[in-house]
């Protein structure tokens, strides 16, 4: 199969729906063979069947499961650490009287394990093989909330800022080994996580809600540019751009 990713193998976590499923479809169209990984077996298998790929049941919070998956798989050229959740059922899914009012220990531990541990465990599992082969690209699905404030869901913002920081730091550390890592930082994307409240919130910033197809474009831009530690942003009606913060030192 021809395409920009012809002959490459890709792994997409959270691939059963939303951004992950869209990236799996786009990578397939670009010629890659894709493994869809998720805890949602039914939807994940359906996406895998649709794209002619493979499905792997994977709880990203289980480091042993990560190690087993990588040990039993052919090397991956592209790994998308995409699985993620919001603090509540939806991004900005409920109003509160004050910050952190509804964030109990269970909610906090759930989002931290999936959004933070899941990415760290995944990166830790896939990096050794990529370094040994001196090739590979890791994509981390962060969010515009990893760059700007998201007052209605501070813990979601915490996890996504953490992922941007991880990518920025791993970028120069992996570059000498031929491995690249990039962060995808879209605004609100039309997925089940985006509630009606979130859509209204987006309007206050004139951001709007992005079609899910932009996820594939965003991933392909990061893969094409291959800039270590880079963050790629896009908002509704705006082009995809690399976010380059001003350095704190003169």
pLDDT digits (tens, 9 = 90+) for 43-66: 999 999 999 999 999 999 999 999
Residue 156 among the catalytic residues: yes
Task: Report d(CA 158, CA 239) in Å as an integer.
Answer: 26
Q: Is residue 55 part of a domain?
A: yes
| Number of structural domains found in the chain | 1
Q: Is residue 2 part of a domain?
A: no
Q: Is residue 149 part of a domain?
A: yes
CATH of the domain at 218: 3.40.50.720
- Calculate the alpha carbon distances from 219 to 57, 66, 80, 141, 160 in Å: 23, 22, 9, 9, 17
pLDDT of residue 117: 98
Phi-psi region of 108 (alpha: psi -120 to 50; beta: other; left: phi over 0): alpha
pLDDT of residue 206: 44
Q: Is residue 250 part of a domain?
A: no
pLDDT in tens, 2-48: 799 999 999 999 999 999 999 999 999 999 999 999 999 999 999 99
Task: Report d(CA 31, CA 54) in Å as an integer.
Answer: 14
Task: Report d(CA 94, CA 205) in Å as an integer.
Answer: 19
State the chain's mean pLDDT as an integer: 91
Percent of the chain with pLDDT over 70: 89
Q: Is residue 249 part of a domain?
A: no
Residue found by looking up tokens 């001196």 in the block: 134
Catalytic residue from among 98, 108, 156, 243: 156
Task: Report d(CA 158, CA 111) in Å as an integer.
Answer: 10
Provide the whole-model pTM: 0.91
pLDDT of residue 196: 57
Q: Is residue 114 part of a domain?
A: yes
| Domain, as residue range, for 187 | 9-243
Q: Is residue 1 part of a domain?
A: no
Q: Is residue 80 part of a domain?
A: yes
């Amino acid at each position: 199969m021809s395409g920009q990713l012809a002959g490459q193998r890709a792994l997409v976590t959270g691939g059963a729906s939303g951004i992950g499923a869209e990236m799996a479809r786009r990578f397939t169209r670009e010629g890659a063979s894709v493994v869809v990984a998720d805890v949602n077996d039914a939807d994940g298998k359906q996406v895998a069947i649709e794209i002619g790929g493979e499905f792997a049941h994977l709880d990203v919070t289980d480091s042993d499961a990560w190690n087993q998956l990588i040990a039993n798989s052919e090397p991956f050229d592209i790994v998308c650490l995409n699985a993620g959740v919001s603090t509540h059922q939806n991004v900005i899914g409920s109003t509160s009287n004050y910050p952190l009012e509804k964030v109990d220990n269970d909610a906090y531990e759930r989002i931290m394990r999936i959004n933070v541990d899941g990415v760290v465990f995944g990166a830790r599992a896939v990096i050794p093989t990529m370094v040994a082969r001196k090739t590979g690209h890791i994509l981390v699905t962060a969010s515009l909330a990893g760059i700007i404030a998201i007052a209605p869901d501070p813990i979601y913002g915490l996890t996504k800022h953490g992922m941007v920081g991880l990518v920025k730091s791993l970028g120069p550390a992996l570059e000498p080994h031929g491995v690249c890592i990039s962060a995808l930082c879209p605004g609100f994307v039309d997925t089940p996580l985006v509630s009606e409240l979130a859509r209204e919130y987006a309007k206050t910033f004139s951001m709007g809600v992005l079609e899910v197809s932009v996820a594939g474009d965003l991933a392909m831009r990061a893969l094409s540019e291959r800039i270590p530690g880079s963050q790629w942003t896009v908002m509704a009606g705006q082009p995809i751009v690399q976010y380059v913060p001003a350095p704190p030192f003169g």
